[in-house]
Structure 1
């Protein structure tokens, strides 16, 4: 933050205000309520970071954007209409990002023990009620903001708590891949226990790895409002006796996804599971349950099967019917009314 604006007499304040840019005014306004009131006395009403233009923000460093955004969000309580999204990445290099119409800032979580190995100026950033050491380093063409914590999981949880305590916060994208259990589980527990909403979840990527027990822990404790995508190539003996809490589920390597998982998926609208080995008997069992009305929300289901399925329409509960397409996949679309 800039110099102490309040130490000057009124005539000097007025002269300074007349020469300040909008960004400088925001910096002064965020010093304190007294500083903001002094700006009002000088004719600068309703000064806010959220009122800056995209062009004005482009001239700021990412650290400044982050600092001003956090301070303004804490003051305003309500986010601006900027299509603000929060992304949480839990991998070997975890980070949290804020993406919106005017900027995209990533905040990486590092262990405090690594700060001496990092080349750069150490600054302090207020996150919630804590002041966290931060170093901005050059990373290719873009700067990289590193925050340093005694514990990585505690750092990620503190960032989420900061947002959750100030405004209606939800995670737009939660990406989990190749992270150690000691960091993963406390963060997942925190998201679950504090009822933080998650819109989309992706677990794994091609050639990624995650312990079977950790994936099972994720399945039991993470739910998605919209999409849950799994790209993990799990071991042959992996088993999960439960359902996946999401509107839409996509499993790219589903050798572990069995009939009992389907029969428990009564709240999903779409399920795409590739690499499964469903038999004709499995398909018939599912269709029997579907016709009995046990999947009221289901709109589309795709499963790899061992048998060829023929094109057929199947009457369901009420006005619904299922359109099954031919091929060595079981692909059924559910419609409300047959035309």
Structure 2
């Protein structure tokens, strides 16, 4: 039998409220404004869902967490929460799901499924009401929550828009893993189009190597994904997707950090035109001639945005050829940075106060071109770098010549010793012959 809390006297209500848990008080206060005012009159301090959801994470299912979170956010001024930051991780791992994080703490997760698969899930059937829309849901035995829609893509967009309308600061992350179901590819393209909306902030895209999807869908992601806040925040694009050898791509990806593995389709033209701050490429076809062109363009100030580049080349990195003719410098001691790799690096002066630190390990040769860019207005230019390099080369050649001369002298000495030994052996043989003749004459006498 339900208890009419708002009708009982305040003395009795205070006694009942004092024996309630924090989550029960939050649920009552979120029912209506009248219920919230009634609890305040009883001396109950107002509780917020965002203060207790971590404590009661296991006692509530994901559907209850989602309902309470949206109700609490709607209670803020203007119906939009401005004190908490929401992160939505949209995953395509066989099925489509959304993981919700609030202030870097996990809140809930729910799957987006087709309505015709409702009978395939065993669990407790529940419902979710959003914007006067009835959404059937199932809480499975593994505590996963599934929502069902006539169209999966439309359901995904509806849920995402309901969440971003309640929070001012919302970021999105896209994960594409393993085999993507054919009926989920439409939802994937829908989310890519959704990322271009002005109110959507996409921060990261991850595409794993084991992903099995058509190449045309991968191209669609490259061409249409948008990072709205790439200039003010760190926006990352990671791809391990294996493409065919004939695959090509000529547009630019609008992100601050680009990491492409198996990137045979990335060309020198792309590197020269892109605006990424950090670039990591593996499995490329770049040659020393192309890397030399790239570093010369950077020195000329035509690539001002880059901060770090790591490229696995097709050839062994030849620093003497790539860096020939460039102005060497020495960075100031007052600049705070990691100096552990200075011994194996060369510093090149760029445009303005830019200085590039390029790895140049002489102990072993690698197929890697790595560069870090610093701003150092007090960098000291080394005017005689080329002469010193030449002198070092000549010294090495002289050392080699000296070593060759020593080897030749040793060989000559060994040859003389051999000749002396041969002459001594001949003399001994002659003396032995004379002694044998004398002995023969004595025997005959």
- Aligned residue runs from structure 1 range 144-163, under 5 A: 144-163=144-163
Stretches of structure 1 that go unaligned for 5 or more consecutive residues are: none
Task: Summarize deviations over 1:38-84 as a string: whole Å, max 9, x none.
Answer: 22232224232123263344433333222212221222332655x75
> Aligned partners of 1:318 and 1:59: how far apart in 2?
59
- Aligned residue runs from structure 1 range 129-140, under 5 A: 129-139=132-142
Partners of 1:202 and 1:229 within 8 A in 2 = yes
1:96 aligns with 2:112: no
Stretches of structure 2 that go unaligned for 5 or more consecutive residues are: 320-345, 361-365, 381-445
Q: Secondary structure at the match of 1:192?
A: coil
- Name which of 219, 222, 229 aligns with 1:219: 222
In the alignment, what sits opposite 1:43? 43
In the alignment, what sits opposite 1:262? 271
> Aligned partners of 1:6 and 1:188: how far apart in 2?
48
Identify if the C-alpha distance between structure 1 residues 308 and 138 changes in structure 2 by more than 3 Å, giving closer, same or farther.
same
Q: Secondary structure at the match of 1:92?
A: strand
> Aligned partners of 1:87 and 1:135: how far apart in 2?
21
In the alignment, what sits opposite 1:303? 311
Pick which of 319-328 and 298-307 moved more: 319-328
> Aligned partners of 1:316 and 1:194: how far apart in 2?
36
Identify if the C-alpha distance between structure 1 residues 198 and 4 changes in structure 2 by more than 3 Å, giving closer, same or farther.
farther
* TM-score normalised to structure 1 length: 0.88
Identify if the C-alpha distance between structure 1 residues 164 and 190 changes in structure 2 by more than 3 Å, giving closer, same or farther.
same
1:202 aligns with 2:206: yes
Partners of 2:301 and 2:351 within 8 A in 1 = yes
Pick which of 177-186 and 116-125 moved more: 177-186
The structural deviation recorded for 1:145 is 0.8
Which structure has the larger Rg? 2
> Aligned partners of 1:276 and 1:4: how far apart in 2?
70
1:184 aligns with 2:188: yes
In the alignment, what sits opposite 1:28? 28
Pick which of 180-189 and 310-319 moved more: 310-319
Higher strand share: 1
The structural deviation recorded for 1:268 is 1.0
1:314 aligns with 2:348: yes
In the alignment, what sits opposite 1:279? 287
- Aligned residue runs from structure 1 range 88-127, under 5 A: 88-100=90-102, 103-127=106-130
Partners of 1:29 and 1:48 within 8 A in 2 = no
In the alignment, what sits opposite 1:175? 175
The structural deviation recorded for 1:269 is 1.0
Identify if the C-alpha distance between structure 1 residues 103 and 152 changes in structure 2 by more than 3 Å, giving closer, same or farther.
same
- Aligned residue runs from structure 1 range 3-82, under 5 A: 5=4, 8-11=7-10, 13-52=13-52, 54-76=54-76, 77-78=80-81
> Aligned partners of 2:86 and 2:160: how far apart in 1?
15
> Aligned partners of 2:351 and 2:192: how far apart in 1?
38
Aligned residues: 332
Q: Secondary structure at the match of 1:168?
A: strand
> Aligned partners of 2:244 and 2:53: how far apart in 1?
51
Partners of 1:48 and 1:72 within 8 A in 2 = yes
Partners of 1:5 and 1:28 within 8 A in 2 = no
> Aligned partners of 1:50 and 1:222: how far apart in 2?
32
Partners of 2:89 and 2:99 within 8 A in 1 = yes
- Name which of 301, 307, 331 aligns with 2:370: 331
- Name which of 183, 197, 207 aligns with 1:193: 197
* TM-score normalised to structure 2 length: 0.68
Partners of 2:62 and 2:110 within 8 A in 1 = no
> Aligned partners of 1:29 and 1:72: how far apart in 2?
10
The structural deviation recorded for 1:300 is 1.2
> Aligned partners of 1:121 and 1:54: how far apart in 2?
24
The structural deviation recorded for 1:116 is 1.8
> Aligned partners of 2:100 and 2:2: how far apart in 1?
28
Identify if the C-alpha distance between structure 1 residues 317 and 110 changes in structure 2 by more than 3 Å, giving closer, same or farther.
same
Higher helix share: 2
Identify if the C-alpha distance between structure 1 residues 148 and 291 changes in structure 2 by more than 3 Å, giving closer, same or farther.
same
Partners of 1:128 and 1:158 within 8 A in 2 = no
What is the alpha-carbon root mean square deviation over aligned residues? 2.5
Q: Secondary structure at the match of 2:284?
A: strand
